[in-house]
Amino acid sequence: MPGPVAKHFERQAQACEELGSPFTAALCRLLVERLDRSTAFGRRILDWPGDPAADALALRACGALHALARSGREPDLASVYPPAPFAREGVWAAIAGAMARHDAFLSGWLDSPPQTNEVARSSFVLGAALTVAQRTGLPLAVFEIGASAGLNLAFDQYRYELGGGRAWGDAGAPLTIESEWRGVLPALASPLRIVSRAGCDRKPLDPASQEDAARLLSYVWPDQSARLQRLEAALRLAAAAGRRVEQADAAAWVERQLAAPATPGVCRFFFHTIVWQYLPDAVKTRIEAALAAAGAAATPATPLARFGFEIDGGAPGGGMVLTLWPGGEPEALGRADYHGRWVEWG
């Protein structure tokens, strides 16, 4: 596999190693080494017409194989997936058989970009929401941009084990997230009340749909069982609550939400996590203009907040930034692991 596709798969393998998925790292390298043009799946990957990195091609390919392994339609492939140890020849033999029998499925899966809903990122959202609640003394109306299946909209309904004996949330909550908080922590005792929650996505997923749930689960790396279990629990909770995300263009949706009169005594809290890189520049410009205009009109009785956790070129992990109006000065809250394993506040 020559050129930019091979480089992309290797970079993805390195990222998987750093984020604790040796299976997916090895799978990326195996595909680089063995794929050829004898199948539609191989041809599409090798001859990818766009930017493989921007299109997350390696994650599309790994997601396709994981989806098939989880489907029950290809037991030979499932048998070499975790918890089975990675054996290169055995794994490749299973992949070759799967491509021979399910080439159309695997090739078709590449059509859609990966869609994830990493529930442990709710830990970051909780910290930012506690910060806003402490500073404003008000309940929050919550809005998520790029909400996928809306699982992080329920961030206040989960239990958090934060390291050092610290915890937040109901001990009987249906989902517990382990996320080590370090540094100068947000005030865990700050009263937090959510009065409403809404989200948008260009292609929202329905937590109650078996097909949509299977797609989300396919993009979780198969040797990370805790992430899979966490996602399954969050999907069950969201399905039971009947929560749905609105299908909408992000800019149009934000503009519409902010055009509604602000409710005195409520802080509007907009957030996004690993979404900004996927939005066109024109959409980002419109969202920022709408937030700035609404922020200029904000008062202590009608504050506005925006929280983002995004890739920013720094390391380790991604950066967390909070902007609170009146005022409107972006504030770096710290850094966090992409999968929520740790958060460094301050």
Of 113-117, 118-122, 185-189, 255-259, the poorest mean pLDDT is in 113-117
Res. 158: pLDDT tops 70? yes
Pair 270, 143: CB distance under 8 Å: yes
List the structure tokens of 217. Answer: 């689960």
Q: What pLDDT does 2 receive?
A: 60
Q: What pLDDT does 224 receive?
A: 97
Pair 35, 42: CB distance under 8 Å: yes
Res. 1: pLDDT tops 80? no
In degrees and rounded to multiples of 5, residue 226 shows phi and psi of -65, -40
**Listed residue (83, 122, 96) closest to 31, CA to CA:** 96
Give the chain's end-to-end CA distance (angstroms, integer). 43
- Mean pLDDT, residues 89-93 taken together: 98
In degrees and rounded to multiples of 5, residue 242 shows phi and psi of 70, 25
Q: What pLDDT does 100 receive?
A: 97
SS3 of residue 213 by DSSP: helix
Count the alpha carbons within 13 Å of 222 in the hemisphere toward its beta carbon: 28
- Mean pLDDT, residues 153-177 taken together: 96
Residue 78 makes CB contacts below 8 A (sequence gap 6+) with 69, 70, 72
Give the whole-number percent of the chain exceeding pLDDT 70: 99
| 216-234 residue pLDDT tens | 999 999 999 999 999 999 9
| 95-130 residue pLDDT tens | 999 999 999 999 999 999 898 999 999 999 999 999
Q: What's the Cα-to-Cα distance from 169 to each of 39, 152, 173, 236, 250, rounded to whole Å? A: 50, 15, 7, 18, 30
Separation of alpha carbons 225 and 228, rounded Å:
5
| 4-41 residue pLDDT tens | 999 999 999 999 999 999 999 999 999 999 999 999 99
Separation of alpha carbons 273 and 144, rounded Å:
9
